[in-house]
Amino acid sequence: MAQRHLDPKDPTAEVATGNALAGYLRTHATEFLRALRLHRETGGATGTGPESVDAARALRRSARRISGSLHTYRPLLDAAWSESMRPELAWLSGTLALEHAYEARLERLLQALHRLSGAAVIPEQATVPGGPAPSPPGRGNLTVGAAKAGALLERQLTLARTRAHSTALQALGSSRFHAVADKVALLASEVPLTPTAPTTDLRPLAGAARERLTDAVTALPLVTAGHPYNAQALVHGLSPDPAPHPQDGSWHQVRLLLRLHRYACEVLGADAAADTRVLTAGQCLDRHRDASEAAAAAAQAARTPRIAPATAYALGVLHADQRHEVEAARFAFQRAWQRDPVETV
């Protein structure tokens, strides 16, 4: 879809109405179907190659956009249809996201272990004929504790990832998925707008999405986050409460609202991601979420029975390191956000 960079303040600009919403939904329904076809062609039930991964990512991307628009522009759409569609799309994109999340989490944690060991992350080595055998990638220069912690995380997260892969494949073969795919196929040709929707101005609903975002940001502890080294992210580092940290919830929520804001702008024909501020803020919140979940994985691994004290110590350092990353991400978000207020819609 061509992006029309509308200026919402320009009274002569074309006003986006429900028809634009219908166009946006049709476009992403078509994208969804194309990704699904690609996924089936590139491996389907057993696919793990890069093309299959791209196809799964494209499926998730479309599912999130359709689902987000259904939420933001709900009053313009058939209510029963919309309410039955959203949870199914959320289930699908959630299921498809897990495998990649576990893979990225393991990579993040192994890189952190190397950084904490004062070792550069070892690149894939070319074998020199007759030379010494290359050291296994990613294991050079680690202490016993760090190496054991890395091996434990690799075992646990690889298992989780394998399970997530099977679950995703089962999901894609399920009748539940086929029902979603049928609905999306229908959406690609016909969008169930309400009778008045085609001429209804979309901006008030997009504005409401923006307002939900700014309200949620206002409720964040941004003053604290703006003071470097405030040590807040690790306050519950040894708390008896289980991970994830309750303090992270409001930040995760802002991440979702920022995404809804971006999709709402896309429907209007504006690309909110072209606003570097929104883009940077979103990247900070992704990093916040990733570090938060990596810290929780390290804490979780430390609860494995019968691990060596050196392993547990390394996992403790790793947990704290990732909680620092959480704090750093909040600081960076605060910096990006305070630059100037959201005026995109």
Contact call for residue 116 and a copy of itself (CB under 8 A): yes
The span from the CA of 213 to the CA of 207, in Å, is 10
In the complex, least distance from residue 92 CB atom to a copy of itself, rounded to whole angstroms:
36
C-alpha distances out from residue 179 to 63, 84, 155, 183, Å: 14, 11, 35, 6
Residue 307 CB: number of other CB atoms within 10 A?
17
Among 79, 159, 219, 235, binds a copy of itself (CB under 8 A): 235
- When the beta carbons of 142 and 267 are compared against a copy of itself, the nearer one is 142
Helix, strand, coil percentages for the chain (3-state, nearest 5): 70, 0, 30
Stretch that binds a copy of itself, among 103-111, 163-171, 193-201, 305-313 (CB under 8 A): 305-313
What is the smallest separation between the CB atom of 119 and a copy of itself, expressed in angstroms? 8
Pairwise CA distance, residues 272 & 280, whole Å: 11
Taking alpha carbons only, the member of 195, 245, 213, 222 closest to residue 344 is 213
- Our CB check for a copy of itself shows the closer of 149 and 217 to be 149
Task: Give dist(CA 124, CA 122) in Å, integer.
Answer: 7
Residue whose CB is less far from a copy of itself, 92 or 149: 149
Cα 223 from Cα 217, distance rounded (Å): 12
> In this complex, which beta carbon is closest to a copy of itself, that of residue 92 or of residue 112?
112
Q: 269 and 125 in contact (C-beta within 8 Å)?
A: no
- Residue 307 in the binding site for a copy of itself (CB under 8 A): yes
CB of 134 to a copy of itself, least distance (A): 20
Smallest distance, a copy of itself to C-beta of residue 318, A = 8
Position 139, amino acid = R
Shortest gap between Cβ of 300 and a copy of itself (angstroms)?
Answer: 11
Residue 269 CB, shortest distance to a copy of itself, in Å, is 37
Q: Figure out which of the listed residues 36, 109, 257, 314 binds a copy of itself, where binding follows CB under 8 A.
A: 314
168 or 315, CB closer to a copy of itself? 315
Q: Which of 11, 50, 118, 195 binds a copy of itself (CB under 8 A)?
A: 118
Angle made by CA atoms 262, 264, 269, in degrees to the nearest 5: 90
- State which residue, 106 or 328, has the beta carbon closest to a copy of itself: 328
Distance separating alpha carbons of residues 55 and 80, to the nearest angstrom: 30
- Does the footprint of a copy of itself cover residue 290 (CB under 8 A)? no
* Binding of a copy of itself by 228 (CB under 8 A): yes
234 interacts with a copy of itself by CB under 8 A:
yes
Among residue numbers 151 through 210, which ones bind a copy of itself (CB under 8 A)? none
Q: Which residues contact 123 (CB under 8 A, 6 or more apart)?
A: 137
* Radius of gyration of the chain from its Cα atoms, rounded to whole angstroms: 23
Kindly tell me which residue out of 216, 222, 256, 310 binds a copy of itself, with binding defined by CB under 8 A.
Answer: 310
Mark the segment that binds a copy of itself (CB under 8 A) among 33-41, 115-123, 127-135, 151-159.
Answer: 115-123
Site membership for a copy of itself, residue 313 (CB under 8 A): yes
Task: Count Cβ atoms within 10 A of the Cβ of residue 12 and give its class: 0-12 exposed, 13-18 middle, 19 or more buried.
Answer: exposed
Between 135 and 154, how does the x/- string for binding to a copy of itself read (CB under 8 A)? ------xxx-xx--------
Q: Does 316 bind a copy of itself (CB under 8 A)?
A: yes
Coil, strand or helix: which one is 17?
strand
Both ends of the chain: CA-CA distance in Å? 19
Local structure of 283: helix, strand or coil: helix
* Nearest partner of 298 among 285, 286, 312, 288, judged by Cα: 312
Give the tokens for residue 309: 């004290």
Collapse the DSSP code of 193 into the 3-class scheme (helix H, G, I; strand E, B; otherwise coil) and give the result: strand
**Candidate segments 179-187, 226-234, 248-256, 278-286, binder of a copy of itself by CB under 8 A:** 226-234
Chain residues that interact with a copy of itself, rule: CB under 8 A: 113, 115-118, 141-143, 145-146, 228-229, 231, 234-241, 302, 307-321, 324-325, 327-328, 331-332
